Structure formats: structure tokens, C-alpha cells
A = this chain, B = another copy of it.
């Protein structure tokens, strides 16, 4: 009915069309998990002054040479440095100032002696019981980062510590790649919303809600367009609107040949280049459609929920990740396991099989296949992951190691 292409080829075509990332400015503390769209440089030295890392006495290290418990150095206490205040007094030879952890070193001081290695007397004299080297118990001005140095590279995924660093430098706004808005359309005359009562012949919409969750987990912003009827005008009107309002559109449903053809036709009607491929050599997910309408990528996924979620993982998630500035695949979403049974596969296509995983005593994982129609959502509720049987094999043998794409927490 249509020419199918391989999974790899399909993904390659998708990514080839997804290279226009949008950029936005965000407040630094809202940037967790986002990707920098610029090199960020430091506007200042951090710390902005030399600081003590201990409670004790700021000294000139040269005054402590040779000092020990049996032969302490005698210094005069010039005062106490208050936390958060400038130390506008300089110390001279044989002078010390009291300082707390984080306090600003007075001028001429180059080391701090820890409190426990000193004795202080009422007359303002201090005995120093150890020799300290220049820089001891001190963080120098600019030791953490210097003015104009690179803070975060472009295309960096922002973590908790990066937010701390931006705060330290007073960098309040940064440019990151924009979260794509993803339009979600379900089609099918038999579908109703989950809050509606069922009448005979109707079923509740699964895909809109499962796909919304997938979109959110992928860090994009879902936008619902509801359930549309399998009818040309409604397809055209809804796709036109969503293509203008969204960065990416997912239509799900249309398991019948007529609906699939209608989806493909409408994508073509919306303008060049239209449908890029229609049909992938994968099970489940063969009737997957990918196209572009006025530059907006549009995915047509099967109405079968298992098929829709497998093809979301294979094709839509890499596309969303590309728009977010992330690499298309997240390897931490994969684990290895030993398959418990032989699984045959038809040559010339990739098979994706739902599995439940069990942790064995030796720490390794065992994957038990869950078979069943791709229309049965509970086969996926029971599953902990999905394994791939590559295109050019005749299946896999019990005991073989397989790569599992996680779909939930592994016990």
C-alpha cells in the first residue's frame, strides 16, 4: 500500500529536518535541565576577595616561620574582622586579626592560622603554635573562577551546581533552547474523553493522555486539540491551526486505511514538502507517518496505544530532544538483560517486544516477553521495558543479552 523504510532511515530523515532550534531567555533558577544556547562568561572574580576557610587569625605567613607549640610566634591582635564587612585595616608585621570562616582577608595577610593552633591573652597578644604557608586556609580572589572565564559552554545541560554557580556570579538571565510546544490530536469516531460516559461502540481516548505524559516527560509543552472526527474538513482545519500554534504536531489514531490516507493527504494539502515518509519496517508501528507542513514537523502515529508509545520513543522523542538542544538519545534510559525465551522475528523489519524485568541474585536482569495485541494497553502497564530485535536477524535465543529501553522504574 505504501513504501516502507527502515527505522534508522526514518530517524535520519526526521533529524535532518529538525535543525531549527528556538531560543528564549530564562531566569537562571528556572533553567534546570535546559540547554544553554550561548557561551556564558564570568562578569567577575569569584570569590570577589580572598577569604578564610577556617575560624582563626589572619596573619602574614612570614611572621609564622618556624613557629611551633614549644616555640610559638607572638603577634598583636589588631582587631576582629566582622563577617560580611570590608577589612579596611591592613595588618603590619607581627600583627594578626581574628577572622571567621568566609571572612574577608585584611590587606597584607596571606594565610590564616586555625583557632585551635593559637592561644590568646587578655592583653591582646596571640601565640601562634604552628607555621603556615602563604595561602594556607585561604581561598584567593578569583580562585573559583576569574572574570571573563567561561562559566558554561553553549549546548550544556544545566545541573543543580550550575544554577549555584550562576547565582554566585549574579548571572540572572541566560539564553536556552525553547521548550517546543507539541500539539496532540486524536482521531477516531469511536473515541470519547475520559470524563464522558461510554455509549455502546465508544471507547475512551487513551493516546491523547499517554502521549501528553510522554511529551511532558520529554520536557516539552503539550497542547491538546481534542478528538477530531475522521473527516476531511475537520482534519484540515485542526492540522492548520496546530501547525501554526505548535513546534511539532502528533496525530494519533487512524488505524483504518481510510483514516491513514486522509492524514497523509491532509499533510500534503498543507504545503511543501508534505509527507516525507509513510510506513516504517517496524512492528508495532508500521503505518507511522512523518511530514512537514510549513516547516512544522507532523507525526502520524497509530491509534493502537502500544504502537503509539513505541513509535513515540523511536521517532518523536528524538525529535523533541533535538529541538531542546539535547542529543537525540538518552543512553541512561537503557539497560541490558538476558531474555528468558526464544523470540522469532520476520526478517526485514525491527521488532519491539514488551518485557517485564526481574532482578536476579547476581544483580543482573532477566527479561520476560509479554506478548499480545498492540491494542492492549495493559500489556504495556505490565511491562518494565521494551526490547529491540534488529532488522537483519531471525530472532533471539533464550539466554541472549538484549538491550532494554526502560519504561519505568526497574525493581
Contacts and interface: CB of A to CB of B under 8 A. Distances in A.
A302 B63 CA distance: 31
A164 B378 CA distance: 9
Given A28-B194, A85-B200, A86-B199, 12 more contacts: A53-B373, A86-B200, A103-B190, A104-B200, A115-B257, A143-B373, A144-B378, A157-B409, A160-B211, A160-B213, A167-B209, A332-B406
A18 interface: no
A262 interface: no
Contacts of A188: 83-84, 102
Interface in A168-206: 168-172, 188-191, 194-196, 198-206
Contacts of A305: 161, 164
A240 interface: no
A256 B55 contact: yes
Contacts of A49: 200-201
25 contacts: A29-B212, A49-B201, A55-B258, A82-B189, A83-B201, A83-B230, A84-B189, A100-B258, A101-B256, A139-B376, A157-B409, A159-B408, A160-B211, A160-B214, A161-B309, A161-B377, A161-B380, A164-B377, A166-B209, A167-B204, A168-B204, A170-B196, A171-B194, A172-B195, A332-B410
A79 interface: no
A38 interface: no
A203 B142 CA distance: 12
A303 B214 contact: no
A207 interface: yes
B160 A102 contact: no
A155 to B, nearest CB: 11
A159 to B, nearest CB: 4
For the complex of A and B, 7 pairs with smallest distance between CB atoms: A164-B210, A86-B200, A84-B190, A101-B255, A160-B213, A167-B209, A83-B189
A217 interface: yes
Nearest to A381: B165
A378 B376 CA distance: 50
Q: Which of A46, A88, A172, A194 has the most CB of B within 10 A?
A: A194
A208 B29 CA distance: 10
Interface residues of A, number: 96
Interface string A369-411: 0000101111011010000000000000000000000111110
A189 B85 CA distance: 9
A143 B376 contact: yes
Interface in A316-339: 326, 331-332
A145 interface: yes
A152 interface: yes
B152 A381 contact: yes
Interface string A350-379: 000000000000000000000001011110
Contacts of A406: 332
Contacts of A53: 373, 375
A86 B200 CA distance: 5
Given A32-B217, A376-B144, A85 B201 contact: yes
A279 interface: no
A326 B410 CA distance: 12
A258 to B, nearest CB: 8
A207 B256 contact: no
Contacts of A48: 198, 203
